[in-house]
Amino acid sequence: MSEPIYITCSHCMAKNRLPADKVNQDAKCGKCKKSILVDDPIALTDQNFQRFIQNNDLPVIVDFWATWCGPCQMMAPVYAQVSSNMKSQARFAKVDTEQAQQVAASFNIRSIPTLIVYKAGKEVARQAGAMDKSSLTNWIKSQL
């Protein structure tokens, strides 16, 4: 059996321990019994942001966006598609900067869309601007 990793449930935010070699399987949350890993990015708020990025052993990629932002809207389906394809390699989340202003301010978000990669709760990479699927996938893989 491989070393366990900790992954936060996409639904109830409970911290779950999984064997690292079982991440690709459809693991269920010990608390809410729903799938821990989901295809779509998780919407984070001021209230659950820190808990989510700190309680995942997988890297967390966060898309900071806003509803009024044209490039954000263009990149949203691409981000969702990459999230679905890479859900066992990293966690994917979105932060609406209009709704989660404290989080956006604390990370000094000045332009959107901005993507930030977190490992062990710490920012390790940042990229501003919309990307196509190939560019986004390659950038994420280079950060993992």
Q: Where in the sequence numbering do the catalytic residues fall?
A: 69, 72
Tell me: cis bond preceding 71? Omega within 30 of 0 counts.
Answer: no
Please classify residue 62 by burial: count the beta carbons closer than 10 Å to its beta carbon, then call 0-12 exposed, 13-18 middle and 19+ buried: buried
Pick the closest to residue 99 from 34, 47, 23 (CA basis): 47
Cα separation of 42 and 36, whole Å? Answer: 11
Please classify residue 42 by burial: count the beta carbons closer than 10 Å to its beta carbon, then call 0-12 exposed, 13-18 middle and 19+ buried: buried
Among left, alpha and beta (phi > 0; psi -120 to 50; other), residue 127 is beta
